[in-house]
Amino acid sequence: MRHALIAETIGKSFRHRNSDIAPTFRAWLESGLFRNRSEKRFWALRDVSLRVAPGEMVGVIGRNGSGKSTLLRLLGGVMQPDRGSVAASDPVRGLLQLNTGMHPDLSGRENVLINGVLCGLLKSEVQERMSDIIAFADLHDHIEQPVRTYSSGMRLRLGFAIAVHVDPKILLIDEVLAVGDLAFQGKCLARISAFKKAGCAIVLISHDMHQIREFCDRAIWLDAGHVCAEGLPDAVVEAYETAAHSAAANEAAKAEPLEGPNRFGTKEVVIGDVRLMDASGAAIGTIAQGDAMTVRFRLTPAEPTQVQISVSIADASRRLCFDANSETDQIEIPEVASGLSLSISFARLDLSPGTYFVSVGVWHRDWSKAYDMHMDAYSFEITGGPKLLGVLAPPRRWRATPD
């Protein structure tokens, strides 16, 4: 089969930047005068090959900084590989950043013309498609208003409408399918499927594994610039997710002190050293369905205090699965004088596979104020068993008895 896009063992290396300072003459002079032979370079992408046939959609997954965007830039020809080569049978189009050339003071119609041309169309071609684009973006009479009066949703719709009217033969998509409301997203996905049917070769970067599984014919998992796995989307996504979970376990073991919007309270008593552990006391990020788990943490008060504590578990959509506290469970917490270690052990967690978040809180004894609350701050993964729609996955037995 003739391929639309071929990348042959491409590699790209970047200079290590010592600081965020933009390059200056001084740096240039210094590097010229005292030529630094050991200039450090790192490979953002190494030895990656990719062939995309017309009508094929390839998904690229990987953590941030794994080289996905670099790969897309090389495929798009806006960056040159240091090794290997990229060949394309037709002009490559991108659905990368929307609204790049838009000017807020100009009307929607004027911006369609500008952005259409910047996306690769000729002016005459944009004019032909103008009414289709406006209809797709669902902007009607707003189209004559300056774009600055648009809501962010309207702007995105307009940007997307332009970008999907270029009728590409080769299309690169970077994470933009997550924009807009669901109905519009569906419209965009339908449009992209139509491109695919019409023989467009597509490379899609996404963090949405569901999209990768559903729309892609193949997937590539990049890690640190290398191809970690390649093949059918289901297999690659599974391998990627398993690895991501064990990485999360390593993160959990570090038990960094928490800061940010997930933490609130007066800090008269602080929670620290929160650990999720398995039965043996080892820090975990993943447990098998039905296994035991212990949440352990330390309280450190500013002065001796009587407290209440709470622990809860929520699922990925922040639906509360479990919530108990020292009052509901009638636990007498000794006065916290200098420090106090606390733990709650679950004999088994019969939850459906997925990501869960643990919240831990320490409160005034009459619940009038929070001393320290860590909201959905500690995540763990339940693995094994079938993916269920509900939260609970208790051990169960089915029986069919003929009458």
Note the residues at the interface with other proteins (CB under 8 A): 14-15, 22-26, 28, 73, 76-80, 85-88, 90-94, 96-97, 100-101, 103, 105-106, 110, 113-114, 117-123, 146, 172
Name the phi and psi angles at 121, rounded to 5: -90, 160
What are the CB-based long-range contacts (under 8 Å, 24+) for 327-335?
Answer: 327/367, 333/306, 333/307, 333/308, 333/309, 335/304, 335/305, 335/306
| Rounded CA separation 321/390 (Å) | 10
Q: Number of H helices and number of E strands within the chain?
A: 8, 18
Q: Which amino acid is at 12?
A: K
Q: Are 196 and 190 in contact (CB under 8 A)?
A: no
Task: Tell me the three state secondary structure of residue 271.
Answer: strand
E-strand stretches of 116-178: 170-174
CB of 22 to other proteins, least distance (A): 4
| Contact assessment for residue 71 and residue 45, using Cβ atoms and an 8 Å cutoff | yes
DSSP 8-state symbol, 294: E
Contact 318, 356 (CB under 8 A): no
The CB-of-187 to other proteins minimum distance in angstroms stands at 23
Residue with smaller CB distance to other proteins, 21 or 400: 21
CB atoms within 10 A of CB 130: 16
Q: Which is nearer to other proteins, 80 or 306 (CB)?
A: 80
Smallest separation, CB 192 to other proteins (Å): 16
**Closer residue to other proteins in complex, CB, 34/398:** 34
Alpha carbon 376 to its chain's center = 18
* Beta carbon of residue 180, minimum distance to other proteins (angstroms, whole number): 19
Neighbour count for residue 274 (Cβ, 10 Å): 19
Q: Which phi and psi (to 5°) does residue 222 adopt?
A: -100, 140
Please, which residue, 101 or 354, has the CB nearer to other proteins? 101
Nearer to other proteins, 15 or 207 (CB): 15
Q: For residues 45 and 40, what is the distance between their CA atoms, to the nearest angstrom?
A: 15
User: How far is residue 94 CA from its own chain's centroid?
Assistant: 20
Task: For the CB of residue 84, give the shortest distance to other proteins in the complex, in Å.
Answer: 13
Of residues 53 and 79, the one with the C-beta less far from other proteins: 79
Find the shortest distance in angstroms from Cβ 99 to other proteins.
9
Residue 192: other Cβ atoms inside 10 A: 21
Least distance to other proteins, CB of residue 46, Å: 16
Closer residue to other proteins, CB minimum distance, 110 or 223: 110
Closer residue to other proteins, CB minimum distance, 36 or 338: 36
Using the minimum distance from each CB to other proteins, give the nearer residue, 110 or 241.
Answer: 110
Phi and psi at residue 82, to the nearest 5°: -80, -25
At closest approach, how far in Å is the CB of 24 from other proteins? 5
- Least separation, in Å, of the C-beta of 12 and other proteins? 9
